[in-house]
Amino acid sequence: MAHDWQPDFEHLVDQHQSMVFSLALRMTGDRGLAEEIAQDVFLELDRNLGRIENADHACFWLRRVAMSRSTDAMRRRRVRGIDLWVEMEDVHGVATEDRATPLSARLEQLLATLSEPQRAALILRYQEDLTPEEIANTLDQPLATVKSHLQRGLKLLRARAQSHLKEYVRDNKFAGGLTDGRI
């Protein structure tokens, strides 16, 4: 079908590089690999630019390909026996202090302890602010599966945050939120 939208590759890179890089970084935990994945995703976009219908489609396409490329990269590394999820600030110098609170920094680390599908669902939910339906569409998974990943992932993260961040629980700051288990 013909479409009027004229994609500008450089503009798309400017607009979405942070999104693609962040998705890959949070999925893999490796800055170098995340950068490689981001480059691959944009080069793939360049090859498929003719099929992109509009700006929203470009964004959807980039999210989808970034997630699948990240999963593939992790699978490849796992096959080679490399434990990929390294603590970001230890290896790549991402300062914990940059985060608004230590809980934010810790949450990002705790994300690594979740399974890949749970991590993917939570990243799309909280980084990209997608609804479960949009996540299901992006990951090409049934809605019920996505909802289950979100619920279980969030529950696990709350539980782990609770045990790792006792100082916050002691302050009772998140006592209500950490125990109710809602999405």
Partner 1 sequence: MDEFEREMRQAFERRPAPPGLKRKLMEKRRTRKSYDSFFTWQRLAASLVLTAVLAGGFEWRNIQERRKEEAAREQVMTALRITSHALNRMNARLASRRRGTQD
Binding letters toward partner 1, positions 61-100, x by CB under 8 A: ---------------------------------x----xx
Among 1, 2, 10, 95, binds partner 1 (CB under 8 A): 10
CB neighbours of residue 126 within 10 Å? 15
Is 63 or 74 the residue whose CB approaches partner 1 more closely?
63
Stretch that binds partner 1, among 59-67, 76-84, 139-147, 168-176 (CB under 8 A): 168-176
Question: What type of residue sits at position 121?
Answer: A
Query: Distance between CA atoms of 167 and 81, rounded to whole angstroms?
Result: 36
Cβ-contact 48, 61 below 8 angstroms: yes
Binding letters toward partner 1, positions 125-154, x by CB under 8 A: -xx-x------------------------x
- Torsion (CA) 167, 150, 131, 19 in degrees, nearest 10: 70
DSSP class per residue in 37-88:
HHHHHHHHHHHTGGG--SHHHHHHHHHHHHHHHHHHHHHHHHHTT------H
CB of 144 to partner 1, least distance (A): 21
CB of 1 to partner 1, least distance (A): 26
Is 79 or 95 the residue whose CB approaches partner 1 more closely?
95
Question: In which region does residue 123 sit, left (phi positive, over 0), alpha (psi from -120 to 50) or beta (all else)?
Answer: alpha
Is 50 or 81 the residue whose CB approaches partner 1 more closely?
50
And the tokens for 50?
A: 């003719």
Where along the sequence are the contacts to partner 1 (CB under 8 A)? 9-10, 13-14, 17-22, 25-26, 31, 35, 38-39, 42-43, 46, 94, 99-101, 103-105, 107-108, 122-123, 126-127, 129, 154, 157-158, 161, 173-174, 176-178, 180, 182-183
